[in-house]
Amino acid sequence: CGVFGVYGHSDAASLSYYGLHSLQHRGEESCGMCVADGKEFNYHRGMGLVKEVFDKERMASLVGNMSIGHVRYSTSGDSRLANAQPLIFKYRDGDLAIATNGNIVNAPQIRHELEQSGSIFQTTSDTEVVAHLIARSSKDVVEAAKDALARIVGGYAFLIMTNDKLLVASDPHGLRPITMGKLGESYIFSSESCALETIGAELLRDIQPGELLVLDKDGLKEDRYTEPQRKALCAMEYIYFARPDSDLNGSNLHASRKRMGSRMALEAFVDADIVTGVPDSSISAAIGYAEQTGIPYELGLIKNKYTGRTFIQPSQELREKGVKMKLSAVRGVVEGQRVVMIDDSIVRGTTCLRIVNLLREAGATEVHVRITSPPFKNPCYYGIDTPDRKELIASNKTVEEICREINADSLAFLSPEGLISAVGGDNASDPSGGLCLACFNNDYPTTLDFDGEEKAGC
Ligand code: SF4
Ligand code: MG
């Protein structure tokens, strides 16, 4: 999912519209925004894309100078309007709105406990437990939010809004990205910096692990609700999820992905005629591989602009249809050629098999697959949609077996060390590069205090 917040701008809703549109790749299922005008909340949520959900009339009704917004893809398959965010509640004499990117691993326990003592939940979203924890506290909203955040375990970026305050928080490991920018006198918060660029805001910095920022009439207060733990920003943000024009932790994503590609070339060179990347996420890495090897980069695969991200379709059936609608091989480019095909990850293996076959059907004589991440063996519990371990192909098969299964002539994955060195950035000296690598190495940064079933995050 993606979140976007504005503090102190007379047209908070328009900025949010453009911001959320720039974060659309983080979730295409539903979206929403809530704007505060000092007295009440004006809000709207709907299923679908930002440009579908918000028309001119809607936008005109969203008056106010503070807002939080959200684009969602469900990590639990529970895709319905009630779970669209921001979630909005009556709170004391006013209102409370919450938008999250991430997943709370101990939400089922907290929810159970709250239900036992009388809470009635409106949604199946794990975000709602935070609202209940805040509402039940007798402290003011900032102290109540600190207590609530200290109780939850997981990977998350939170935007919390009352009628006169905006709160911004990152989990103790900084698993999910959230950045702060400035536009004139206004503060802007966004899951990714690409959305700041869109609205002309200047990137100030990333929100740090365990931080809680409070914005109100007294300005910006930089506070924290807990001590930071080891920095563990999601490696999949670098590999696949974030847009190439975003900066994460001090480094540009396109540049990081190019380095992943050139590192891949050093680790697993293969003689071939052309290099092609699976659009859009692997184009940067393919350019890096081509630059490093001297094999020309070509557009062997084309993406239809009018389809969304296949992985973000909640069911396997939709995903499978999605791949065919989305990609075509370019016969004039690949026919008679030995092709190196760069992709960012293999999760179930179905997409990869289809793309290899597309290239072969279009006349490629050899297809060598290079994946710019290590084998994806373990599920994510922090808000990236991944299947159970039994569906993760790398958890059950060797590289040779996967190679046969995807019908490739050869297959190689980037090493964890290669990934860490390619990411670079502010944490380059840390042995894990300031990254969470749990889906590759099973080293989860938090306790996994959950029942193994419910993953109703975002
Ligand atoms: Fe990201 Fe993998 Fe960690 Fe999940 S487990 S937060 S996908 S690196
Ligand atoms: Mg892909």
CATH code, 349: 3.40.50.2020
Annotated binding site for Mg(2+): 281, 343-344
Per-residue pLDDT band at 454 (split at 50, 70, 90): very low
How high is the pLDDT of residue 456? 47
Same domain, 209 and 244: no
Same domain, 305 and 364: yes
Distance from C-alpha of 345 to C-alpha of 369, rounded to nearest angstrom: 11
Same domain, 54 and 202: yes
Distance from C-alpha of 415 to C-alpha of 264, rounded to nearest angstrom: 8
Per-residue pLDDT band at 80 (split at 50, 70, 90): confident
Q: Quick one: average pLDDT of 237-243?
A: 97
Annotated binding site for [4Fe-4S] cluster: 234, 380, 436, 439
Q: Kindly tell me the sign of the dihedral angle through the C-alpha atoms of 38, 42, 47, 52.
A: negative
Encoded tokens for 388: 């159970």
C-alpha of residue 436 to centroid of ligand 1, in Å? 6
Question: Is 142 a residue whose pLDDT tops 60?
Answer: yes
Question: Is 189 a residue whose pLDDT tops 90?
Answer: yes
Could you say which ligand is closest to the alpha carbon of residue 278?
A: 2
Distance from C-alpha of 187 to C-alpha of 202, rounded to nearest angstrom: 10
SS3 438: helix
Question: Is 320 a residue whose pLDDT tops 90?
Answer: no
Q: Which residue has the tokens 């997943």?
A: 103
C-alpha of residue 381 to centroid of ligand 1, in Å? 7
C-alpha of residue 437 to centroid of ligand 1, in Å? 6
DSSP character at residue 36: E
Same domain, 197 and 294: no
Domain harbouring 185, CATH code: 3.60.20.10
CA distances in angstroms from 230 to 120, 251, 379, listed in the order given: 35, 19, 20
How high is the pLDDT of residue 234? 97
CB 235 less than 6 A from any atom of ligand 1: yes
C-alpha of residue 456 to centroid of ligand 2, in Å? 24
Mark which of 214, 230, 246 sits at the end of a domain: 230
Question: Is 76 a residue whose pLDDT tops 70?
Answer: no
In a domain, 442, yes or no: no
In a domain, 329, yes or no: yes
Question: Bigger pLDDT: 447 or 306?
Answer: 447
Same domain, 242 and 211: no
In a domain, 39, yes or no: yes
CB 100 within 8 A of CB 133: no
In a domain, 316, yes or no: yes
How high is the pLDDT of residue 63? 97
Question: Is 441 a residue whose pLDDT tops 60?
Answer: yes
In a domain, 132, yes or no: yes
Same domain, 22 and 47: yes
Same domain, 128 and 177: yes
CB 312 less than 6 A from any atom of ligand 1: no
In a domain, 455, yes or no: no
What confidence tens digit (pLDDT) does each residue in 323-349 have? 667 899 999 999 999 999 999 999 999
Q: Quick one: average pLDDT of 108-123?
A: 93
Could you say which ligand is closest to the alpha carbon of residue 372?
A: 2
Percent of the chain exceeding pLDDT 70 equals 92
Same domain, 318 and 417: yes
Same domain, 109 and 21: yes
Q: Are strands 211-216 and 338-343 parallel, antiparallel or unpaired?
A: unpaired
What confidence tens digit (pLDDT) does each residue in 374-423 have? 999 999 999 998 888 999 999 999 999 999 999 999 999 999 999 999 99
Distance from C-alpha of 447 to C-alpha of 455, rounded to nearest angstrom: 15
Question: Is 449 a residue whose pLDDT tops 80?
Answer: no
Same domain, 152 and 244: no
Mark which of 211, 230, 249 sits at the end of a domain: 230
Identify which of 102, 191, 117, 88 has the alpha carbon closest to the alpha carbon of residue 152. Answer: 102
Which atom of ligand 1 lies nearest, measured to the CA of 378?
Answer: 5
CB 439 less than 6 A from any atom of ligand 1: yes
DSSP character at residue 297: B
123 backbone φψ class: left, alpha, beta (φ>0; ψ -120 to 50): beta
C-alpha of residue 301 to centroid of ligand 2, in Å? 11
In a domain, 224, yes or no: yes
Question: Is 77 a residue whose pLDDT tops 90?
Answer: no
CB 436 less than 6 A from any atom of ligand 1: yes
Same domain, 222 and 254: no
CB 156 less than 6 A from any atom of ligand 1: no
In a domain, 456, yes or no: no
How high is the pLDDT of residue 378? 96
Could you say which ligand is closest to the alpha carbon of residue 379?
A: 1
What is the number of structural domains in the chain? 2
User: Which of 175, 191, 249, 423 has most ligand 1 atoms within 8 Å of its beta carbon, as the pocket-test mutant?
Assistant: 175
Mean pLDDT, the chain, integer: 93
Domain region containing 143: 2-230
Ligand 1 atom 6: residue of nearest CA: 234
Which atom of ligand 1 lies nearest, measured to the CA of 234?
Answer: 1
Annotated binding site: 234, 281, 343-344, 380, 436, 439
Ligand 1 atom 2: residue of nearest CA: 439
Mark which of 190, 214, 230 sits at the end of a domain: 230
CB 234 less than 6 A from any atom of ligand 1: yes
User: Which of 248, 439, 450 has most ligand 1 atoms within 8 Å of its beta carbon, as the pocket-test mutant?
Assistant: 439
Question: Is 112 a residue whose pLDDT tops 60?
Answer: yes
Same domain, 76 and 160: yes
Q: Are strands 186-190 and 202-206 parallel, antiparallel or unpaired?
A: unpaired
Q: What φ, ψ does residue 99 adopt, rounded to 5°?
A: -130, 135
CB 420 less than 6 A from any atom of ligand 1: no
Distance from C-alpha of 134 to C-alpha of 145, rounded to nearest angstrom: 6
Question: Is 35 a residue whose pLDDT tops 80?
Answer: yes
CB 236 less than 6 A from any atom of ligand 1: yes
Encoded tokens for 298: 């070509």
Encoded tokens for 91: 């709170």
Buried b (16+ CB within 10 A) or exposed e, 416-438: bebbbebbbbebeeeebbbbbbb
What confidence tens digit (pLDDT) does each residue in 258-279 have? 999 999 999 999 999 999 999 9
Contacts of 158 (CB under 8 A, 6+ apart): 3, 98, 99, 100, 130, 149, 167, 168, 169, 170
C-alpha of residue 343 to centroid of ligand 2, in Å? 6
